[in-house]
Amino acid sequence: MSFFGFHYRLESKAIGLTLGIIAAASIGGLVEIAPLFTIHQTVENAPDMRVYTPLELAGRNIYIREGCYACHSQMIRTLRDEVDRYGPYSLAVESKYDHPMLWGSKRTGPDLARIGEKYSDQWHVAHLNNPRDVVPVSVMPAYSWLMTTELRTDDLDLHLKAQQKVGVPYTKEMIANAALDAYAQSNPDSPLADGVTKRYGKATTMRAFDGRPNVLTEMDAVVAYLQVLGRLTEAAHKPIAQAESLK
- Same domain? For 20 and 138 the reply is no
Q: Domain check: are 8 and 86 in the same one?
A: no
Q: List, for residues 157-207, the tens digit of each pLDDT value.
A: 999 999 999 999 999 999 999 999 999 999 999 999 999 999 999 999 999
Residues 77 and 19 grouped into a single domain: no
- Mean pLDDT along residues 10-26: 81
One domain, residues 69 and 36:
no
Query: What pLDDT does 41 receive?
Result: 67
User: pTM score, two decimals?
Assistant: 0.82
Query: What total of structural domains would you count in the chain?
Result: 2
Q: Domain of 59?
A: 54-237
> How far is residue 65's CA from residue 60's CA, in Å, rounded to a whole number?
8
pLDDT of residue 31: 81
Structure confidence at residue 105 (pLDDT): 79
> Does 244 map to a domain?
no
Same domain, 136 and 227: yes
Instruction: Please indicate, yes or no, if residue 207 is contained in any of the structural domains.
Output: yes
Q: What is the per-residue pLDDT for 243?
A: 46
Residue 77 lies in a domain: yes
Domain co-membership, 25 together with 80 = no
Bridge partners, 217 (sequence order): 150
Determine the pLDDT at residue 95: 92
Ramachandran quadrant class, 89 (left: phi over 0; alpha: psi -120 to 50; beta: rest): beta
- Same structural domain, 81 and 167: yes
Residue 22 and residue 16: Cα distance in Å, rounded? 10
- CA distances (Å), origin 70, targets 60, 74, 108, 199: 14, 11, 8, 33
pLDDT digits (tens, 9 = 90+) for 122-142: 999 999 999 999 999 999 999
Regarding whether 96 and 10 lie in a shared domain, the answer is no
Count CB neighbours of 14 within 10 A: 9
Residue 242 belongs to some domain of the structure: no
Q: What is the pLDDT of residue 8?
A: 73
Higher pLDDT, 243 or 173: 173
